[in-house]
Chains A and B, each alone.
Chain A
Amino acid sequence: MWNTLSRMLRTGLLTEPLPKLSEARSVVEGLPLEPMQQNLLNILGRALCIRHVDAGSCNGCELEIQALGNPYYNIEGVGIKFVASPRHADLLLVTGPVSVNMEEALRRTYEAMPEPKLVIALGDCGACGAAFGSSYASRGGVSNAIPVDKTVAGCPPSPPEILRAILDLIRPAADEV
C-alpha cells in the first residue's frame, strides 16, 4: 500500500490543457478545463456520453480512443464519458470502413440512440473507406450507412485530434447557452 501511495504522489497530476479548437475565435493554445465542463453542464446537466462502435476498423483508431482515458488527456475530467449502451449516448463515435457484416449492427446501434444524436466518423476509413474502399465486403465510409455530422482524418487520428473534433462538434451549442 505504501508503495502504491508513494507512486501516486511521485507521479502527481499529468493532465494537460485541452487541445485548441480548430476555429480561430477567442481561443488560446490550451483551453482551461473548467469553462468546458460548465458549458457541458449548462447544455446537458451531466457528462457528454459517447458510444463507440467499431464498424470494421483495423483496431488502430480504437487504440487512440482508449488513449483518451490516459492521465494526460483525462477525457472523463473534462466531462466526457464512454457508455456501454447506445440508449445512454448523445454521440456515436464510429471507426472503420463499414463492413457488410457490421452494417446492420451499426444501424441498430444508431437507431437505439435517443434524439438528438450526433455522429463522428473517425479516421480515414470512417471518412471515406480509405485503403478498404467499397467492395463486396465493405460499404466504405460511415456516411454510406448512417448520417454523419463530422469526420476526423488520420490513420489513426491522434488523441488530441479526436478530442478536438468532439469539442468542435459540441462547442457551438455550448456557446449559445
Chain B
Amino acid sequence: MAAEKTDEQQVKMFGNLACSRIRVDREGWISTAEQLSESGARLLTLWGTDDRDQAGGFRIDAAYLLSDSVLVVEHRMVDEGEPWYPSLAGLFPVALRMQRAAYDLLGISTNESDDRGWLRHGGWPQMVFPLRRDVDGSQQYPVVSQPYSFVSVEGDGVHEISVGPVHAGTIEPGNFRFSVVGEKVLRLEERLGYTHKGVAKLFESLTQHTGHRLAARVSGDSAIAFSWAYCAALEAITTTTCSARALALRALALEHERLANHLGDLGSLGNDAGFAFGFTHFSKLKEDLLRANSVVFGARYLMAFVVPGGVAADLNTEARSLLLELYDALETSVINLRTIYDNHAGLQDRFREAGRLDRSTAKRLGAIGLAGRASGLACDLRVDHPWAPYTSLAVTMMTQKGGDVAARVQIRFDEVVESLRLCRALLTENDSGVIQATVPTAQSNQLGMGIIEGWRGPVAVVLETGRDGGIHRCHTHDPSWQNWPLIEHAIIGDIVPDFPLINKSFNLSYSGQDG
C-alpha cells in the first residue's frame, strides 16, 4: 500500500478506505470544491496544520466523501504574513464552524464575515494560537470572559431564552439561545466549544503507539470508533495487517457500542416524551449489555480495548454462549418494547412531526450518519465503503423518510436488530487466532486516515507522523460537526418544551465536537 502516483497530481494516500490526495493552489481550492459540490460529494472534515517547522507555511486540508472513495484536497499558504484561504461555507455550509475552529487554533483565516470565536471563549489570549509550533501548549492563562454576539430576532412579543452551558440533566455542556414568540421557536442558535480540552495539541506530545488512548477519550460514548479510527490510520501508514480475529473483535466491540447507545437513547426518548416505563426497560437492557461487556471484554466501557495492531485481549471461553443468550434476550425484549412504543398513542403524538428535517434541507446542510439516514439520505460507510471485516458482513442500511423524531426512533429500532445479527455473525466466524500484530514505528511525514462508521456516523482520524515515532499532527473528527447545525433547522416552528426530545433524538456529542 505504498504511496504511489496515480496521475500527475493525485497521490494515493494511506487509509482503511480508498483515499487519495491532491495539492491545489488558492484558486484550485475553491474550483475543486465547486466541482465536488456539483458531483454530490460531501465534506467529511477540514483541518489546518502548522508546517512552518518544515518550511511549508500553514496548510489547510479538506476531506471529501465521494461515492467510491475519499479525496483529500490540500492547500499550502506559503510565505504569507496573514495566512488565509477561501471559505468553503457557501458550497458546504458545514465548513463554517470547522473554519472558525481552525482559526482559533492556528490563526489561519478565511474571507468569511462570521469571525466569532468557536473554540476560544476567552480562555487564552486572542493572539495566541495554541496549535502553532512556537506556542507552548502547557502555558495557562487567566480567563477573560467575552460577550458572544448571538444573532437577535426582533419583533412584537419576541423574547430570548438562554439555556446552558450547565444543563438541567446529566448531560454535556453547551449554550442554546432560543428566540421565541410564546412557546414557538423562531430561531435557535447553538454555541459550543465548552469542553474544548486541547486534544489536537496533546496528540503532538504523544507517540504513535500511545495516541490511541487519547483518541478513545475524544468522545467517551464512541471510544471504540475513535480508537479504531486512530489505529486504522497508523496501521495503514505502517502497512500493518491485523488478523481476521482482531478485526472481528473490533467490529463486535463497535456493534456493542452502537447497541448500548441506541438502547440508552430509546429509553431516554420515551422518558423525554413522558413515558418513564420506556426509560426503565431500555436502561435495564443497556445495563445487561454493559455487564456482559464487563464479563467478556473486561470493562463496561471499552476505553482500552482497541490497540495498534489489534485488540488488547481475546474473549474468554464462556463469552460465546453468554453473548448469544444475551442477544436473544435483547432481541425478544426490543421487539416487544417496539410494539409498545408503536401502539402508544401519547408517545407517537409527541414523536411524530416533532423536529422534522426534510430530505432536501438535510442534503443541503451535509447531514451524515444516523440523522442523515432518518431524513432519507442513504449513507452508511459500513455499506458504501466497507472496510474489513464489514466487507464480508453485508450490512443492511436502514433509512427512514420522515426526518422527524419518530423516524430517528425507528432507525434506532431497526439498527438494534441489524446490529444483533452482525454480532451473531461475528461470533461464529474466526473464533481463534492472533489478536495483536506488531506495529513498526513509521517514518516521519506520513499521512494516514482512519474512518469508522460509529453509532452517530463516520468518525475520522487523520494522523501525520513526526520524527522518532512522534506525531506531527493528529486531527479527530466527530460526525456531530455535521449534525449540530441540523437541530437549528429541525426545531424551527416547534415549541420550546419539545426541544429536549428533539435534541435527544439526534443525541450529538459535545466533547467530540469541541475536541
A residues apposed to B, CB below 8 Å: 3-4, 7-8, 11, 14, 52-67, 69-72, 82, 84, 96-97, 99-106, 109, 131-139, 155-156, 158
Q: Which residues of A contact B197 (CB under 8 A)?
A: 56, 97, 99, 132, 135, 137-138
* Set of chain A residues within 8 Å of B494, measured between Cβ atoms: none
Q: A69-B283, A70-B283 are in contact. Are A102 and B173 (CB under 8 A)?
A: yes
From B138-146, B414-422, B432-440, the one touching the partner chain is B138-146
Pair B198/A136 contact, Cβ less than 8 Å: yes
Indicate if the CB atoms of A62 and B281 lie closer than 8 Å: no
User: How many angstroms from the CA of A131 to the CA of B197 in the assembled complex?
Assistant: 10
Contact of A70 (CB < 8 Å), options: B214, B220, B284, B510: B284
Known contacts A11-B284, A72-B284, A132-B198: A100-B301 contact under CB 8 Å? no
Asked whether, in the complex, the Cβ of B220 is within 8 Å of the Cβ of A136, the reply is no
Q: List 21 A-B contacts (CB under 8 A).
A: A3-B339, A4-B340, A54-B170, A57-B220, A58-B195, A59-B511, A63-B220, A66-B283, A67-B283, A70-B283, A70-B286, A84-B168, A99-B196, A100-B123, A101-B121, A102-B165, A104-B143, A105-B165, A131-B213, A136-B128, A137-B201
Q: Which of B124, B344, B509, B511 contacts A100 (CB 8 A)?
A: B124
Kindly identify which residue among A53, A71, A137 contacts B196, using a CB–CB cutoff of 8 Å.
A137
Interface residue? B300 (CB, 8 A): yes
Within 8 A of A (CB), among B222-264: 223, 264
**Do residues A101 and B172 form an inter-chain contact, with CB atoms below 8 A?**
no
Q: B residues within 8 A CB of A65?
A: 170
Q: Which of A11, A14, A105, A135 contacts B137 (CB 8 A)?
A: A135
Which residues from chain B contact A11 at a C-beta distance below 8 Å? 281, 284
Once bound together, how far apart are the Cα atoms of A100 and B193, in whole Å? 10
In the complex, which residue of chain B has the Cβ closest to the Cβ of A8?
A: B277
Report chain B residues within 8 Å CB of A63.
220-221, 264, 301
Please give 7 more A-B residue pairs, beta carbons under 8 A apart, in addition to A60-B301, A70-B286, A99-B194.
Answer: A57-B172, A57-B195, A62-B171, A63-B220, A70-B280, A84-B168, A136-B124
Q: A33 to B170, alpha carbons, bound, how many Å?
A: 24
CB atoms of A54 and B214 under 8 A apart = no
B322 interface hit (Cβ, 8 Å): no
Cβ of B279 within 8 Å of any chain A Cβ, yes or no, is yes
Whole-angstrom distance between the alpha carbons of A67 and B221 in the complex? 13
Known interface pairs A52-B170, A102-B195; A7-B202 also in contact (CB < 8 Å)? no
Q: A84: which B residues are within 8 A, CB to CB?
A: 168-169
> How far does the alpha carbon of A65 sit from the alpha carbon of B339 in the complex, in Å?
29
The answer to whether B145 and A104 have CB atoms under 8 Å apart is yes
Chain A residues, CB < 8 A from B217: 58, 60, 131-132, 155
Whether A70 contacts B198 by the Cβ 8 Å rule is no
Number of interface residues of B (CB under 8 A): 63
CB proximity of A24 to chain B, nearest CB, Å? 25
Contacts of A58 in B (CB 8 A): 195, 217-220, 511
Q: Does B160 contact A (CB under 8 A)?
A: no
The verdict on B402 contacting chain A, using a C-beta distance below 8 Å, is no
Contact A60–B223 (Cβ < 8 Å)? yes
Query: Which residue of A is nearest B210, CB measured?
Result: A131
Q: Which of the listed residues A7, A53, A134 has the most CB atoms from chain B within 10 Å of its own CB?
A: A7
Q: Does B336 touch A at the CB level, under 8 Å?
A: yes
B138 touches A134 (CB 8 A): yes
Q: How far is the CA of A46 from the CA of B197 in the complex (A)?
A: 38
Write out, one digit per residue, whether chain B residues 333-350 have a CB within 8 A of any chain A CB (1) or not (0).
000110110011000000
Chain B min CB distance to A17 (Å): 16
Cβ of B287 under 8 Å from chain A:
yes
Contact call B170/A137, Cβ cutoff below 8 A: no
B121 contacts across to A, CB distance below 8 A:
100-101
The 3 closest A-B CB pairs, nearest first, are A60-B220, A100-B123, A137-B198
Contact B287 A57 (CB under 8 A): no
Q: Which of B198, B283, B303, B514 contacts A135 (CB 8 A)?
A: B198
**Complex contacts, A70 vs chain B, CB 8 Å:** 280, 283-284, 286-287
Q: Say yes or no: A136 contacts B140, CB within 8 Å.
A: yes
Name the one of A7, A14, A53, A72 contacting B166, with C-beta atoms under 8 angstroms. Answer: A53
* Shortest Cβ distance from A4 into B: residue: B340
**A99 → chain B closest CB, angstroms:** 5
Contact with A along B113-139 (1 / 0, CB 8 A): 000000101011000101000010111
Name the B residues within 8 Å of A101 (CB-CB).
119, 121, 123, 165, 193-196, 514
| Residue B311 interfacial (CB < 8 Å) | no
User: Is B368 an interface residue, CB under 8 A from the partner?
Assistant: no
Chain A residues with CB below 8 A from B213, complex form: 131
Query: Shortest beta-carbon distance, A58 to chain B, in Å?
Result: 4
Asked if B72 lies at the interface with its beta carbon under 8 angstroms from chain A, I say no
Which of these, A3, A55, A69, A136, contacts B343 with CB under 8 Å? A3
Q: Is B290 an interface residue (CB 8 A)?
A: yes
Q: Which residues of B contact A100 (CB under 8 A)?
A: 121, 123-124, 140-141, 143, 196
Smallest distance from the beta carbon of B328 to chain A beta carbons, Å? 16
Does the CB pair B202–A105 fall under 8 Å? Answer: no
